[in-house]
Amino acid sequence: MPFGESILIAPQIRQPGVTEPAPVRWLLVSAAAVLLGLFVAVPLGAVFATALRGGLGRYLEAILHPDARSAIGLTLLTAAIVVPVNALFGIAAAWAIANFRFRGKRLLITLIDLPFSVSPVIAGLALVLVFGRQGWLGDWLDARQVRIVFAVPGVVLATAFVTVPYVAREVLAVLEAQGSDEEAAALTLGASAWQILARVTLPKIRWGLLYGIALCNARAMGEFGAVSVVSGHVRGETITLPLHAQILYDQYDAVGAFAVASLLALLALFTLVTKKYVERRSRPV
């Protein structure tokens, strides 16, 4: 995963003394700017422009509508469960992989990355096949009147599935780059396991951890494919923000859909600002 490795440990290497003529440089920079402008910046701007097309009143009405508020509530609830759990998992997995030698380490890393390679739709399908009415555990859950698929637990599980890798990857990148000498020193000075974690490792990985949490959170709040398969679209109950945007769009309420989408776009901008901040703070002195 390129995302994990390049950010925190940017190599500082001398530029070659030869370069291209100025017009060529100018042309290449312009081409890159035009590409990113047309493909990325213009669509991002269109989200906000369309959201505000009906005026500020219409915008506020769309995002304060009871359905929108319930979607915001579910999205926040899901992230509040999934992000801490995946952060704890990420720290544990990175600790095990970075500090110990054991058989099957490569396999474990591949497993952590697996949700990146599996289509979100298949993640949703997998949960339906296990926990759905006709799934492997369907009768057992039915008998206990527990609903997972087409209910909030399914939304949480689907979101957890697709966001498994983020924190683990970022924290692992930092731990592997910095080695475990300081932890070993703490150990010889008599620190307990939890003391080492709290006083040495956590301060060391804090920027990687923060960035991993920001990415995990953005994906958790924005996940669409996996959640849409398991949600069942129960109004006021299992509809997250992205699903709400889709529903409004399908009802030809473009302004409403983009107003809701603009909240998620703001979240993305916040994530990018976090990344810039982390990059600045963790740059080697």
- Give yes or no for residue 42 binding another protein (CB under 8 A): yes
Site for another protein in 71-90 (CB under 8 A): 89
Contact 93, 164 (CB under 8 A): no
| Residue 110 binds another protein, judged by CB under 8 A | yes
Least separation in angstroms between residue 182's CB and another protein is 11
Q: How far is CA 133 from the centre of its chain?
A: 29
Q: Convert residues 182-201 into a mask of x (bound to another protein by CB under 8 A) and - (unbound).
A: -xx--x----xx--xx----
Answer whether 171's CB lies under 8 Å from 90's CB.
Answer: yes
Q: Which of residues 198-217 bind another protein (CB under 8 A)?
A: 215
Segment 12-41, which members bind another protein (CB under 8 A)?
13-20, 24-25, 28-29, 31-33, 35-41
Q: Does the protein bind another protein through residue 127 (CB under 8 A)?
A: yes
In this chain, which of 120, 153, 154, 208 binds another protein, going by CB under 8 A?
120
* Binding range to another protein, per CB under 8 A, among 66-74, 140-148, 203-211, 252-260: 252-260
What whole-number distance in Å separates Cα of residue 13 and Cα of residue 10? 9
Find all residues with CB under 8 Å of 230, minimum gap 6, and list them. 124, 127, 128, 149, 150, 154, 155, 157, 158
Neighbours of 122 (CB within 10 A): 14
User: How far apart are CB 10 and another protein at their closest, in Å?
Assistant: 7
Query: Distances in Å between the alpha carbon of 121 and those of 14, 47, 136, 246?
Result: 45, 25, 19, 16
Decide: is 172 part of the binding site for another protein (CB under 8 A).
no
In angstroms, rounded to a whole number, what is the distance separating the alpha carbons of residues 128 and 15?
53
Number of residues that bind another protein (CB under 8 A): 110
* 43 scored as a contact of another protein (CB under 8 A): yes
State how far the Cα of 262 lies from the Cα of 49, in Å rounded to an integer.
9
Using CB under 8 A, pick the residue from 246, 253, 277, 282 that binds another protein: 246
Site for another protein in 48-67 (CB under 8 A): 50
Distance CA 224, CA 226 (A): 6
Stretch that binds another protein, among 55-63, 66-74, 134-142, 203-211 (CB under 8 A): 134-142
Q: Which region among 58-66, 140-148, 202-210, 272-280 touches another protein (by CB under 8 A)?
A: 272-280
By CB under 8 A, residue 70 contacts another protein: no
- Here the tokens at position 219 are 């994906």
Specify the residue for token string 């979240």: 267
Minimum distance, C-beta of residue 265 to another protein, in the bound complex (Å): 5
Q: Within 216-245, which residues bind another protein (CB under 8 A)?
A: 218-219, 221-225, 228-229, 242-243, 245
Which CA distances in Å does 189 have to 89, 184, 192?
Answer: 28, 9, 9
CB within 8 Å of 7: residues ≥ 6 apart: 211, 275, 278, 279
Among 128, 148, 167, 213, binds another protein (CB under 8 A): 128
